[in-house]
């Protein structure tokens, strides 16, 4: 890959060890002659990453989600270094970052393109999500009745706590907690998972990538909340459906050349089982 010559550093100083690690990695970058711009505030303002070769995020997945929109708009790869808990998006551990940062800056990485959800709740109300879009009532204890269309075709109506629309990347987040499926990041799909549906037969549905989903509020007494990546809320315009589709923009995530998605899933979710390869039936 192309060497990195201009690098933004987004550091979550609330994460233990993040400032110290940032100083170490920035020292490595300076030795390599890389131009640095450190940042401690996020989400990033529009246009901030213009002209950068990459953006290094030190924190947790929430920190990385704070740079997604700007990185996608400017097509700047994101290097995620985990100082949080699970860290599915921040794919480099602290030790991996220290050991491989000079190699990475020289071009020793690969790029994974991750799908984004495009969500609109009415005129002027529009945003992008890397993980998920959650639609629920503004009052946590109230059920909602939501009617879903895939294009012009009625899917069904749900009486539930809410609906989660997720990318493959976000399938390990709220979707997984709600009983939704794990989806490989390269799959070009949208998953819809009801939260605590009143009808037990309501389960997750997987839609192909070119679908436009329309969600209508069918309960007059309910005011909806539309949450993007659990960080930002869109105002719901009464009478307008929530529209969700795959964005033409992608997020570029920098990964080690030997990165394995399933190795990460096994580690993060603490899967167990025999490690031996299956025997040859022949």
DSSP secondary structure, 66-131, as one string: TTHHHHHHHT--EEEEE-SSS-SS--B-HHHHHHHHHHHHTT--EEEEEEEEEEEEETTEEEEESS
What pLDDT score does 6 carry? 98
Give domain status of residue 54, yes or no.
yes
Angstrom distance (rounded) from CA 85 to CA 96: 16
What pLDDT score does 277 carry? 52
Of 234, 170, 240, the closest CA to residue 204 belongs to 170
Asked if residues 133 and 165 have their Cβ atoms less than 8 Å apart, the reply is: yes
Binning pLDDT at 50, 70 and 90, where does residue 280 land?
low
Indicate which CATH number applies to the domain containing 72.
Answer: 3.40.50.10330
In a shared domain, residues 120 and 239:
yes
Stretch among 53-62, 81-90, 218-227 having the lowest mean pLDDT: 81-90
Of 211, 5, 255, 9, the closest CA to residue 113 belongs to 255
Coil/strand/helix, residue 187? coil
What 202-208 contacts at long range (C-beta under 8 Å, 24+ apart), as own/partner pairs, is 202/156, 202/158, 202/160, 203/179, 204/175, 204/179, 204/180, 205/155, 206/181, 207/150
Q: Does residue 273 have a pLDDT over 70?
A: no
Stretch among 25-29, 31-35, 197-201 having the lowest mean pLDDT: 197-201
Give domain status of residue 278, yes or no.
no
Q: Does residue 238 have a pLDDT over 60?
A: yes
Q: Does residue 30 have a pLDDT over 90?
A: yes
Overall average pLDDT of the 235-245 stretch: 89
What 17-25 contacts at long range (C-beta under 8 Å, 24+ apart), as own/partner pairs, is 17/83, 17/94, 18/58, 18/59, 18/83, 21/58, 21/81, 21/83, 21/94, 21/97, 21/98, 22/58, 24/98, 25/56, 25/58, 25/81, 25/97, 25/98, 25/101
In a shared domain, residues 88 and 166:
no
pLDDT by residue (tens digit) across 128-182? Answer: 999 999 999 988 788 999 999 999 999 999 999 999 999 999 999 999 999 999 9
Angstrom distance (rounded) from CA 208 to CA 202: 19
Q: Does residue 282 have a pLDDT over 70?
A: no
Give domain status of residue 277, yes or no.
no
In a shared domain, residues 145 and 222:
yes
Percent of the chain at pLDDT above 70? 96
What pLDDT score does 275 carry? 53
Give domain status of residue 195, yes or no.
yes
Q: Which residues are the active-site residues?
A: 61
CA distances from 277 to 211, 261, 264, 273, 274 (A): 39, 18, 18, 11, 8
In a shared domain, residues 22 and 77:
yes
* pTM of the shown model: 0.92
What pLDDT score does 278 carry? 54
Task: Tokens 């985990």: give the residue.
Answer: 82
Domain range enclosing 34:
6-109+256-268
In a shared domain, residues 134 and 239:
yes
In a shared domain, residues 220 and 151:
yes
Binning pLDDT at 50, 70 and 90, where does residue 45 land?
confident
* Highest-scoring range by mean pLDDT, 49-58, 229-238, 253-262: 49-58
Give domain status of residue 151, yes or no.
yes
- The dihedral formed by the CA atoms of 252, 15, 18 and 45, expressed in degrees to the nearest 10: 50
Overall average pLDDT of the 100-107 stretch: 96
Give domain status of residue 91, yes or no.
yes
What pLDDT score does 108 carry? 96
Indicate which CATH number applies to the domain containing 125.
Answer: 2.60.200.30
**Bigger pLDDT: 183 or 85?**
183
Percent of the chain at pLDDT above 90? 78
In a shared domain, residues 145 and 262:
no
Exposed/middle/buried for residue 279 (C-beta within 10 Å: 0-12, 13-18, 19+): exposed
In a shared domain, residues 42 and 127:
no
Q: Does residue 265 have a pLDDT over 70?
A: yes
pLDDT by residue (tens digit) across 203-218? Answer: 999 999 999 999 999 9
What pLDDT score does 274 carry? 55
In a shared domain, residues 120 and 98:
no
Angstrom distance (rounded) from CA 243 to CA 240: 9
Give domain status of residue 207, yes or no.
yes
Domain count, the chain: 2
Give domain status of residue 280, yes or no.
no
In a shared domain, residues 209 and 244:
yes
In a shared domain, residues 65 and 185:
no
In a shared domain, residues 123 and 244:
yes
């Amino acid at each position: 890959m192309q060497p990195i010559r201009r690098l933004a550093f987004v550091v979550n100083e609330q994460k233990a060890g993040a400032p110290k690690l940032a100083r170490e990695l920035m020292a490595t970058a300076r030795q390599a002659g890389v131009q640095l711009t450190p940042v401690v505030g996020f989400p990033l303002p529009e246009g901030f990453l213009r002209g950068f070769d990459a953006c290094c995020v030190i924190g947790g997945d929430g920190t990385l989600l704070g740079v997604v929109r700007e990185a996608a708009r400017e097509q700047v790869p994101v290097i995620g270094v985990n100082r949080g808990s699970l860290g599915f998006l921040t794919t480099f551990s602290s030790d991996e970052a220290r050991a491989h940062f000079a190699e990475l800056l020289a071009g020793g990485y690969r790029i994974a393109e991750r799908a984004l959800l495009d969500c609109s709740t009415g005129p002027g109300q529009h945003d992008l999500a890397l993980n998920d879009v959650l639609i629920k009532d503004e009052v946590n204890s109230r059920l909602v009745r939501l009617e879903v269309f895939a294009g012009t075709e009625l899917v069904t109506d749900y009486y539930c706590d809410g609906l989660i629309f997720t990318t493959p990347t976000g399938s390990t987040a709220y979707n997984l907690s709600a009983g939704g499926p794990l989806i490989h990041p390269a799959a070009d799909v949208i998953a819809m998972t009801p939260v605590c549906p009143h009808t037990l037969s309501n389960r997750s549905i997987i839609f192909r990538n070119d679908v436009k989903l329309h969600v209508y509020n069918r309960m007059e007494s309910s005011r909806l909340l539309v949450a993007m990546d659990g960080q930002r809320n869109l105002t719901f315009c009464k009478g307008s459906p929530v529209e969700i589709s795959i964005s033409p923009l992608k997020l570029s995530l920098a990964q080690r050349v030997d990165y394995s998605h399933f190795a990460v899933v096994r580690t993060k979710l603490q899967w167990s089982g025999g490690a031996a390869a299956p025997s040859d039936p022949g």
